[in-house]
Structure 1
Amino acid sequence: MSVTVDVVLPCLDEAEALPWVLARIPEGWRTLVVDNGSTDGSADLARSLGATVVHEPRRGFGAACHTGLLAADAEYVCFCDCDASLDPGLLPGLVRRVADGEADLMLGRRRPQVRGAWPPHARAGNLALARMTRRRTGLGLRDLGPMRAARRKDLLGLGLTDRRSGYPLEMVVRAADAGWRVGEVDVPYLPRAGRSKVTGTWRGTWQAVHDMRSVLADGPAPGGAS
């Protein structure tokens, strides 16, 4: 596939998963590991494994993702969790659908491969948010997963402002408001490496749901990068 692609990996203490994840980045693609305050040597490890490391001191999944988007310069940008729960080797399939004009934003629908890969409380929260998102946007999405691909210029034009857990949902909502074609394909979901910082606990899941519900309550936002 003769396109340029940057892969944004938001990272907070993911030293255990990084070797597996980085080994599966497609050849010729640039990896942007956005370190969000790791204390386990993740940044140095990622750099030693060939990734470009960007530092974002403001804690928050959205802050890390958006810093990666701003640091990217390829035509296409992909996002993927950095905890080994998703295989970045599957990203070319998502990019291809965008490049071929089938969609403007492609998402990976997580399909657990083993018991325990997706904690019940996290899955329940995601299902509830997916239902609310379908009502809000009219899109037939069944997951709000973190694996996704789109053109960088288009993403910047959405004017995304959330810097917490609501960032992935805001991307979908703003894309729908802008009339984008949003597609979804199944991707295997594996047990994460290390400890979850967000949806591994009821408290973390509640905070993520709270952030995302706030996004759904907002009206359309003006475009522009920030």
Structure 2
Amino acid sequence: MSGSASNAPDIAVLLPCYNEAATIGQVVRDFRVALPDARIYVYDNNSTDGTALTAMLAGATVVRERRQGKGHVVRRMFCDIDADIYIMADGDGTYGPGDAEELIRTLITERVDMVVGTRRGVHDDAGRNGHAFGNRLFNGLYRLLFGNDFTDILSGYRAFSRRYVKSFPAVSAGFEIETEMSVHASRLKLPVCEIELDYGRRPEGSHSKLSTFKDGFKILWMFAMLMKETRPFAFFGLISAGLMAVSLAAMAPVLYEFFTTGLVSRMPTWIGAMALMMMSFLSFTAAMILDSVARSRAEQLRIHYMTLPALKRTVFTPEQTADAAPAKTGRSARAAAKGDRSRAA
């Protein structure tokens, strides 16, 4: 990626890996060709198949992360590495390193903090059908809960600004880390962008580490926890409404009996209904208090984000500017990639 020497950004390519010896060497070499001036880091997460050695021989800087899980790896990467621009991709060869320059160009020219490379094949046949259905389900659920129109919240191919990386708390342990990344952008109302990229199948001999049901449940659980942390009024408000509905349903026949006969024959039901109503009021009170706390935390994160230096706008050549794909920006937007980007599966 060319630009003026004085304005050239410091780029770091981050590749979290677990047992990707069959693909990581070629991925590192392809990134070296695509981004010759970038620093390439492979974070090995207890691989047993020689992933670390293969990456090292291909020219990457290898770091070991002993705590198992992609979330732990991402937290370590973001903590360890200082750069102007971060490219994060998987080491399985499903993402095209040649698309990295387009991610970087979009990040700089559109002045956003995160560019998500949405996977063109993920809704069709590039992977198991369960994964494609789950991706559609989670995207729809995300829009319902967090009100942001990301089209592929689980994509592992992203470009970040330093501002984003150094303000991201990263509390997830596993594959749900991508969901947390999207929620962080929505929570702080950061400028983000999406561009559609090709997504290929894993090469023969490489196996997915995702479990459709196990990891799907973890992502659903992360949705609930992130909603509790970022939208506590809605989270506890729903609990309060549910408790109130059950309380009134249990209370109604007891009240009817009392007003018609003057007797209360089901005292345990009445006591239980009153207990549920009290719990409903407590949940609503907690919702109001925690909503104020969440707003304060978001403000503090936003202030910290604003203290970090913004990314300087690299000067591109006329050819680069002409080739740049137009992108729609905002809280979340989608940019169609220009031209065909064919790559071998």
The normalised TM-score by structure 1 is 0.89
C-alpha distance after superposition, 1:83-142 (max 9, x if no partner): 011112211111112212342210011011897422111111111111122233332211
Match runs of 1:121-160 below 5 Å? 121-144=130-153, 145-160=155-170
- Find the counterpart in structure 2 of residue 198 from structure 1: 210
Whichever residue aligns with residue 214 of structure 2, its letter is R
Q: CA–CA distance in 1 between the matches of 2:217 and 2:104?
A: 32
Match runs of 1:1-226 below 5 Å? 1=2, 2-25=8-31, 26-112=35-121, 116-144=125-153, 145-193=155-203, 194-199=206-211, 201-219=212-230, 223=301
Counting helix residues as a fraction of each chain, which structure ranks higher? Answer: 2
Q: Which moved more, 1:152-161 or 1:175-184?
A: 152-161
Asked whether the equivalents of residues 29 and 59 of structure 2 are also in contact (C-alpha less than 8 Å), the reply is no
Aligned length: 224
Q: CA–CA distance in 1 between the matches of 2:193 and 2:228?
A: 23
Specify the SS of the correspondent of 2:189: coil
Q: CA deviation at 1:70?
A: 1.7
CA RMSD, Structure 1 to Structure 2 (Å):
2.2
Whichever residue aligns with residue 203 of structure 1, its letter is K
Q: CA deviation at 1:217?
A: 4.0
Q: CA–CA distance in 2 between the matches of 1:152 and 1:6?
A: 11
Q: CA deviation at 1:57?
A: 0.5
The normalised TM-score by structure 2 is 0.60
Q: Which moved more, 1:114-123 or 1:52-61?
A: 114-123
Asked whether the equivalents of residues 21 and 50 of structure 2 are also in contact (C-alpha less than 8 Å), the reply is yes
**1:33 and 1:191, CA in 2 relative to 1: closer, same or farther beyond 3 A?**
same
Q: CA–CA distance in 2 between the matches of 1:159 and 1:87?
A: 28
Q: Which moved more, 1:100-109 or 1:131-140?
A: 131-140
Q: CA deviation at 1:209?
A: 4.0
Identity in percent: 26
Specify the SS of the correspondent of 1:218: helix
Give structure 1 stretches of 5+ with no counterpart: none
Counting strand residues as a fraction of each chain, which structure ranks higher? Answer: 1
Q: CA–CA distance in 2 between the matches of 1:170 and 1:149?
A: 15
